[in-house]
Structure formats: C-alpha cells, structure tokens
Amino acid sequence: MRIIGGIYRGHKLERVGKETTRETADMVRQAVFNMIQINTKTIVLDLFAGSGAYALEAISRGAKRAIAVDHDMDAIRVVRKNANTFG
C-alpha cells in the first residue's frame, strides 16, 4: 500500500496484517479523493483507520489536519508508525 497523490506520493505504508483489518485499494482511495476538495483548511476524520491510509493521503494532498481513529491497538501502532515516517 502506498500514498497515491500529493507531496508524499509513492511513499509506502506499513500494513496492519490482520484478517480483521481490510485495506482499501489504491484505485478506490484515488476515486474518493478525486471527488472531494482538499485544501489547507480541510480537517479529515479517518474512522476505522487501519493503517491510516486515508488520513495520511489527505495530509499528503494538503489537509490542515487528519484524525485517525481505530479500536485495535495493532492498528493504532501502525498508524503512529506510518505517521512518524511523514515527520
């Protein structure tokens, strides 16, 4: 899985790797972001974040802030690790 647009395009993301966590295909994520407008005032809420791909994609595309929420501790660790690689 990778970031598909913005300043971090091509950046690889770590996966949670559990059967209870399903990834969103790059093509689907791209379609979602093509439909919405992201700007420097945008705040994104990524519920059931998994790896945090939606939140980090939004940051890459210029969002002001992104909040990733998940109930699985392994997913939370992966989101934090992925976010830390962005600085």
> Percentage of the chain with pLDDT > 70?
100
Stretch 50-79: mean pLDDT = 95
Mean pLDDT of the chain: 92
Task: Specify whether the CB–CB gap between 24 and 14 falls below 8 A.
Answer: no
pLDDT at position 32, please? Answer: 93
For the cut 80, the answer to whether the pLDDT of residue 41 exceeds it is yes
The overall pTM is greater than 0.95:
no
Give residue 19's pLDDT.
Answer: 78
Q: What does the pLDDT read at residue 55? A: 96
